[in-house]
């Protein structure tokens, strides 16, 4: 009997199936990255169904930290093909953050002059140095500080 046992619930996917779908290691990594981008884009709409727009934006920004972590791990492995993959996926991220900001502005949850590109630029800056110790906690603190500054002033305040 093999040292590896398949559990009753495990799919019967062998290495041949894997290579039919992903002929190279780079193809697997590119598919993983594209899936991460798709999940970030889908998270925007999903969060808007369960949270107030401002909180949906805040939560999505927290998820962005995890997305950057995945990107930082995959980028070196992709080598020269990373630029093309990032360019194609960037539009999905921009669409997601634009949807969230537009809804948060319309709801009065963030300042009316809030721009998606400004938030994205800040998020990228917050995740700079993603290989250093404690960067994730720091990025999340900075997101909370940014969100405090984005909140629309309350009437009479």
**Model pLDDT for residues 23-57, shown as the tens digit of each residue:** 666 677 777 778 888 888 999 999 999 999 999 99
For the ranges 67-71, 96-100, 104-108, the lowest mean pLDDT is seen at 67-71
pLDDT at 7 over 60: no
Are 54 and 111 spatial neighbours (Cβ–Cβ below 8 Å)? no
61 closest CA partner among 73, 43, 75, 49: 43
Predicted TM-score of the model (pTM): 0.77
Are 96 and 116 spatial neighbours (Cβ–Cβ below 8 Å)? no
111 closest CA partner among 140, 148, 56: 148
**More confident of the two residues 129 and 98:** 98
pLDDT at 142: 93
- Per-residue pLDDT band at 141 (split at 50, 70, 90): very high
Mean pLDDT of 66-89: 69
């Amino acid at each position: 009997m093999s040292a590896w046992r398949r559990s009753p619930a495990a799919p019967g996917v062998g290495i041949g199936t894997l290579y039919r779908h992903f002929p190279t290691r780079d193809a697997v990594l590119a598919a993983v990255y594209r899936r991460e981008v798709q999940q970030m884009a889908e998270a925007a709409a999903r969060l808007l169904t369960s949270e107030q727009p401002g909180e949906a934006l805040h939560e999505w920004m927290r998820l962005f930290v995890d997305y950057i972590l995945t990107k930082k791990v995959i980028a070196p492995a992709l080598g020269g093909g990373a630029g093309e993959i990032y360019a194609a996926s960037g539009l999905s991220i921009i669409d997601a953050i634009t949807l969230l900001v537009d809804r948060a502005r319309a709801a009065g949850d963030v300042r009316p002059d809030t721009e998606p590109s400004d938030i994205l630029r800040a998020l990228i800056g917050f995740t700079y140095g993603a290989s250093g110790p404690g960067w994730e906690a720091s990025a999340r603190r900075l997101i909370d500080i940014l969100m405090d500054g984005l909140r629309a002033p309350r009437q009479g305040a």
